[in-house]
Structure 1
Amino acid sequence: MTGAAELAAVAGLLADETRAAFCLALLDRRAWTAGELARSAGVARSTASEHLDKLVRGGLLAEERQGRHRYVRLADSSVAALVEQLMSRRAPATKSSSLRVAIADRAMAAARTCYDHLAGTLGVALTDAMADRRLLDRDADLALTAQGVEWLVRELGVDPGALRSRTRPTARACLDWTERRPHLAGAAGAALCTALMEREWVVRVGSSRAVRLTPSGAGALYGLLGIPHE
């Protein structure tokens, strides 16, 4: 069957738990060294290098070298979307093995970055609020409306040029793997995330992909979008 071998090859790249762990870590959009990824996955550096070679050859990762250091990152936003979509198909989570893991899981579910846009409960709440105010059109896969463009520029100071891209849609729905509902991705999702983080309405939690809404951010989003806060 045409394409079957290619599909199986891509699936095979992510079928290994270590390679899958690397791709999940790289959803933070940073470039990581082989040593950093090895430590995060609990494998030897030589083992990590072998897996990274396969992911680079398969087109899922891109690499660059600076001196003796090798850095890798997800090839592009489409790879991030693929990983997030596959995560949404995972089996229901089992009980966390420790309190530390449970706390980390809750933080990730509440709010996190998915490559360059916001996901989790916060990401879905932002998307719902924007759709309710006709800033997004749900009937067109979360298309950004003219009113939405105006709102991003006026209220958040987004550069209109940041909403136009030759390589990705202005806006698209990304199925959230914890909420099982869509959050906003695409150029508009990235611009929204950047604007909130530049204002420190949303800040990172340690070195993970988890983020949290600050008190000033909670007040601002309530005023702008009516998103309730405690």
Structure 2
Amino acid sequence: MKDGPNIIGIAALIGDHARAEVLTALMSGMALTATELAEVAGVTKQTISSHLAKLVDARLLVVEAQGRHRYFRLADQDVAQLLESLMNVAFRSGAVRTRSSPREPALRKARVCYDHLAGELGVLLYDQLLRSDAFTFGAHGVALTPAGHQCVRALGIDTQALHANRRRAFCRTCLDWSERRHHLAGSLGSALLARFEALGWARRATDSRVITFSATGEQALRGWLADAAGEAARSVATPIAPA
């Protein structure tokens, strides 16, 4: 029985070594030129042009012209989620690189997954907010509770403005390949990472998916999450006065 969309073409595109390297590099959320991607993939400029054309035609990538340059990036969050899921399956099945990058420990600690925080600290963020009753689960997936809205607003994020963006999910989970648990994605996950950077807690490493938290930044992150947990515990402990 042959039901549903045909995945053969997409699987074949992703399965090519050079194209897989290109897609992985673009998981940083950055837009890169063909020259930069040729270097990443280890192929010539002529060869990378052919690969990029196929990925654009398949709507895995989009291209933007700026002056004389053309920049390529992942088409959307769905493509990023697909790649992160493939990385999780590959890691689980033992399909790891024969030579680990020197940045591997830092990548596992904290990295950008398209536009939100992944790795150990990304999972910590989601787990701690979950324990703080920041989320509720229903027919439409993950949503913020009133306590969750209060917690996020305390960090300086306008949750109403995020909700107004109908082009993407406000709040959802993404399976983390290195931790094998969920981290937070969606426009909320993106806004949180941007806020961490704006506050100076974290910064993106050059030419890498690594997110580097300073010692004080990680302490501030953990402190904010601890405050959220404390508020949740106090709200549970506070007796409700009879009407």
Common fold by TM > 0.5: yes
**Partners in 2 of 1:224 and 1:163 — Cα distance?**
22
Q: Is the 8 A contact 1:29 1:115 kept in 2?
A: yes
- Please state if 1:118 is matched with 2:117: yes
Question: Considering only aligned residues, what root-mean-square deviation do their CA atoms show, in Å?
Answer: 1.9
| Partner Cα separation in structure 2 for residue 222 and residue 74 of structure 1 | 31
Counterpart-to-counterpart distance in 2, 1:63 and 1:4: 25
The residue that corresponds to 1:3 in the other structure is: 4
Structure 1 alignment gaps of length 5 or more = none
Secondary structure at 2:89's aligned position in 1?
coil
**1:92 counterpart = 2:94:** yes
- Residue of structure 2 equivalent to 1:30: 30
**Shift of the alpha carbon at 1:208?**
0.7
Corresponding residue for residue 107 of structure 1: 106
TM-score, normalised via structure 1 length: 0.89
Q: Aligned letter for 2:130? A: A
Runs of 4+ residues deviating >6 angstroms = none
3-state SS of 1:88 partner? helix
CA distance in 1: counterparts of 2:15 and 2:34, whole angstroms: 19
Change in 2 beyond 3 A, CA 1:93/1:104: farther
How far is the alpha carbon of 1:45 from its aligned partner?
0.8
How much identity, in percent, do the aligned residues show?
42
**Does the C-alpha gap of structure 1 residues 217 and 138 become closer, same or farther in structure 2, counting only changes over 3 Å?**
farther
Structure 2 equivalent of residue 168 of structure 1: 168
Report how many aligned residue pairs link the two structures.
222
Matched residues in 1 for 2:147 and 2:194: separation? 20
Q: Provide Cα deviations, 1:33-81, integer angstroms capped at 9, x if missing partner.
A: 0000001121111111100000000000001223332211111111111
- Which of the pair has more CA radius of gyration? 2
CA contact (8 A) 1:62 1:74 kept: yes
Moved more, 141-150 or 124-133: 141-150
- Choose 44-53 or 83-92, whichever is displaced more: 83-92
- Partner Cα distance (2:110, 2:173) in 1: 17
Q: 2:51: which partner in 1?
A: 51
TM-score scaled by length of structure 2 = 0.85
Structure 2 residues without counterparts, runs of 5 or longer = 228-243
Helix, strand or coil for the counterpart of 2:62? Answer: strand
Q: CA deviation at 1:146?
A: 2.3
